[in-house]
A and B are shown apart, each in its own frame.
Chain A
């Protein structure tokens, strides 16, 4: 890699001399706090071209010598224009100031005005943290992941379910990155809150399609969350006191303009508040979660900057001081930005990510059961951006990951006899090499193309099994077992993942875009429950489980009206996937060394149409989004209907298949200080399997689906309206001075019209006891995870 970089530098310098061109480069930052501005436009008027700042705020433009007018733009900020006489390379770091407060309140996006039309990016959902913080949320807690669900193509199977679904993909097919480290479970309290502290988040971007070559490892989407760097000008404290938890974030300079930090923490306190009213918590019972997000950065020189960031969070759910469940994630990211030259930007990332859970049961030490499970990942990732010329921006890099899976380390005791029954750990390595180019072919046509070469190795030490073949849907038995040495390759896979996007401008306010990408996923989220939950485990591809692969095509039309006051887009997508995982009936997914014998694999397809319209300005603004979508699976051994001989699968709707997905979000400013926000959600009920018949063994009535269908009916549709009122504290004190300390009150009503939205329907024989051979009364019961309106109250402050 080093030699490759040297070669490139040589090429770059040769190139520069040969064509006699010079480079303007630098960083664009927020004048108020020194935060890098991601996606700011740097426009050289004379050539009507330029650059967009990257995730570190860096830009680089190479042009022939001459006099230029360079404009720096970022929405919500005052533009700056500079006159430059270019006869040598110039470094220009610029700071933009926010527009006045009143103007700022009507801005709901941080994109340049026509970014949605002019950028080659498509299938991207972008929300800035200011918008996110205005959306009414469950218990008033600003939620990054829940907010994304208001955009087209994103949904969830219901309250309390962990994670989210993108374009008909499963929860485990999303790559969720916090400062580049993957977060394996992005939820607190099962699925009620996401783990990302809004006070520490700077930028949120969800790639639903057209995924750039630098991302890999998951099939359906990438959620790229970037943390704030921390105010490098002055100390700032943000916080909030809410109904269920409180937040506090402190940020400030370590060395003014050179180094800064941010520490943000949250803790729920329902247990603390409830303690006086109940003795539930007296014997050690607990119900809480907390998280801590930290980051620091240091500008070593004009060419070097380092960042270190981390997340640590945990949910604790204890029944008493000996028994309970807890789970949580840890991530640590170290990054080093280095400028090899004016035109070659590099970043080296090293991260560690860990997710684990722990269960403990048992009244005493003689009789107990303890179980821990975790996944640990290490990754090293050099990335380069070469700003070749105003037409081409080349990115390339590599990545090497090491995984350790420990599905279950368990210990049991029965009347003092100890039994250990752990599943052997698994080790695996994944790597990626990629190159991509964004090319402005003409004023109208921009292409983004590239490819990623990814590979995976399931490594020793450990036993690996060969399973027999059976009729699909029955448990496969291990027929042979072999031992692998330390670091011995048990099985390896390689995939080429081409990525392509194109934009063609029809006019200044409209464009068409198309994209294609292939993705491969080597680790799998094993989940057989109605909704994804914290106890789901990740498992690697092995000699028996193949990597999942997907192909997605998308096309769209983008149009802005009234000087970008209104945005409109329509996109359509189609995705085919292979080696989608499902399970045999009666699969044993926990503490099962032979889990591979219970796994089935098959094909998936998802397709849909996404409509999006947004009003950016005025006292009433907001957006509506609608998705018409299908997501289906075809797996031998499932939904085989009357093919009892071969059990060949027929297409069936995935658990997260939702034909209609309609969301509307609106903001209304009643006055300078009072604003209303509302959002409405409508989702087609998710499919589920109903029984057709019953039979009895002894006193047990057993349901049977005699037609062998999967997800043959749907639960009723889901709809909900949320409303919130935000009252800003006075900006001017009674003495007429501008207050430095700002605060606001937020009153939220979640599920305003008190609907009992169905989460699932289950079939059972009720809770009466029957004698042997008596015939039971069977029934169907509908469960609503939230069966009522949930009001809440939050106080936010900043000083």
Chain B
């Protein structure tokens, strides 16, 4: 993905940017759901709140008094009740240390009731392949980069087309959480048309687990030095969630500069949570991910020569 930061360099030749303060059009707030939860033996939280205006960075106001239930549509006995732990924060707690939330292969319904209105959503919990190994690739310094070590994770997409994933990574314990670091895969490639079923994740996806930070001269800073640690998490996500994140990426990862010539206009992203008896518009998403992960401390043995 060297090309990405070279584009950034070339764009900085003439284009310039400045942060501005601007008013926003007035309009009504919406109910928002953050129902992005995991197949794990840990407490799971669903947040329900009223949206803040765009520039308001305070904690949004939670919506209290909702009932929140996730249930397996094919197994009436498998039901998870979330109870309100704080205003707008609904939590499911495991009853035993091995009590894991949801079952791989299950289809789950989310049912939320707020003041007599019911909101629903469906998702399927898919399996996730394991991460086999992590290596580092060395790239010699040039005008665009320092001498650099790029971490690569090796994992093969599960057989059968249509598996979708979100890959997250942490360097020395810090989550790489920039919108430009959203790393999602459809089978082993970027999109449905990639036709990459059952392959190793393609190289750009393998390498998007690195931090791409630049110094003042727009030269890429070596992502990893010996002794640094990396932790990579592979999350299975629903296909709907993949398309959702694809759009989140378009809307939030803004390159600025010349990149704006190629930017698409701001557009709303469709939620997969709907009110049952009205057209009320809500925002947010419901997804359950299975997790596989691998961590590694970077030593000389981990350098792999790729020709």
Contact = CB atoms under 8 A, between A and B. Distances in A.
Contacts of A588: 191
Contact of B279 (A361, A529, A645, A697): A645
A325 to B, nearest CB: 9
B199 A765 contact: no
A283 B254 contact: no
B144 A280 contact: yes
Contacts of B127: none
B267 A706 contact: no
A756 B20 CA distance: 13
B306 A782 contact: no
A326 to B, nearest CB: 13
A1 interface: no
Interface stretch (B61-69, B76-84, B109-117, B244-252): B244-252
Interface stretch (A14-22, A123-131, A412-420): A412-420
B27 A692 contact: yes
A762 B256 contact: yes
Nearest to B144: A280
A778 B57 contact: yes
B263 interface: yes
A735 to B, nearest CB: 46
A414 B189 contact: yes
A422 to B, nearest CB: 9
A529 B263 contact: yes
A704 B279 contact: no
A777 B57 contact: yes
B193 interface: yes
Nearest to B249: A700
Contacts of B260: 530, 759-760, 762, 783, 785
Nearest to B281: A644
A492 interface: no
Interface in B236-279: 243, 246-248, 250-252, 254, 256-258, 260-270, 279
Nearest to A646: B279
B21 interface: yes
Interface string B187-223: 0110101111001111110000000000000000000
Given A706-B27, A769-B176, A777-B57, A161 B261 contact: yes
A784 interface: yes
Interface stretch (A99-107, A433-441, A458-466, A683-691): A683-691
B241 to A, nearest CB: 9
Interface in A733-768: 756, 759-765, 767
Nearest to B284: A695
Contacts of A509: none
Nearest to A713: B25
Nearest to A702: B248
Contacts of B307: 364
Contacts of B2: 319-320, 323, 363
B252 A701 contact: yes
Interface in A400-448: 412, 414-415, 417, 419-421, 423
A486 interface: no
B52 A785 contact: no
A783 B261 CA distance: 10
A528 to B, nearest CB: 5
A781 B20 contact: yes
A2 interface: no
A771 interface: yes
B97 interface: no
A623 to B, nearest CB: 30
A236 interface: no
A361 B3 contact: yes
Interface string A667-700: 0000000000000000000001111111111111
A704 B264 contact: no
Given A319-B3, A320-B2, A784-B17, A531 B26 contact: no
A282 B143 contact: yes
A361 B4 CA distance: 10
Contacts of A772: 175, 177
Interface string B172-191: 00111111001000001101
Nearest to B259: A783
B254 A762 contact: yes
Nearest to A589: B264
B14 to A, nearest CB: 6
A63 interface: no
Contacts of A530: 260-265
B178 A767 contact: yes
Contacts of A320: 2
A712 B25 contact: yes
A655 interface: yes
A775 interface: yes
A696 B260 CA distance: 24
A414 B196 contact: yes
Interface residues of A, number: 100
B181 to A, nearest CB: 8
A695 B268 CA distance: 11
Given A320-B2, A778-B55, A783-B256, A415 B199 contact: yes
Interface stretch (B29-37, B99-107, B294-302): B29-37
B219 to A, nearest CB: 11
Nearest to A410: B193
Contacts of B58: 775
A414 B188 contact: yes
Contact of A693 (B34, B52, B189): B52
A675 to B, nearest CB: 28
Interface in A273-289: 278-280, 282-283, 285, 287
B25 to A, nearest CB: 5
Given A412-B189, A690-B25, A756-B16, A763 B266 contact: yes
Nearest to A530: B263
B197 to A, nearest CB: 9
Given A278-B143, A695-B32, A700-B182, A585 B202 contact: no
B118 interface: no
A612 B258 CA distance: 34
A788 interface: yes
A241 interface: no
A706 B28 contact: yes
A278 B20 CA distance: 34
B288 to A, nearest CB: 13
A414 B202 contact: yes
Interface in A282-319: 282-283, 285, 287, 317, 319
Nearest to B243: A586
Interface in A160-176: 160-161
A412 B202 contact: yes
Given A319-B3, A529-B262, A530-B264, A785 B55 contact: no
B93 interface: no
Interface in B153-187: 174-179, 182
A799 interface: no
B193 A593 contact: yes
Contacts of A763: 54, 254, 266
Given A414-B200, A414-B201, A697 B34 contact: yes
A420 B195 CA distance: 8
Interface string B124-137: 00000000000000
Contacts of B25: 690, 692, 707, 709, 712-713
A769 B174 contact: yes
Nearest to B5: A319
Contacts of B6: 285, 319
Contacts of A655: 265
Given A586-B247, A689-B267, A693-B52, A414 B203 contact: yes
Nearest to B157: A414
21 contacts: A280-B144, A319-B3, A362-B203, A412-B189, A414-B196, A419-B195, A421-B193, A474-B270, A530-B263, A585-B270, A689-B265, A695-B32, A695-B60, A702-B251, A706-B27, A708-B268, A709-B25, A710-B265, A781-B18, A783-B17, A787-B16
Sort A-B residue pairs by CB-CB distance and give the 3 closest, nearest first: A787-B16, A367-B203, A585-B267
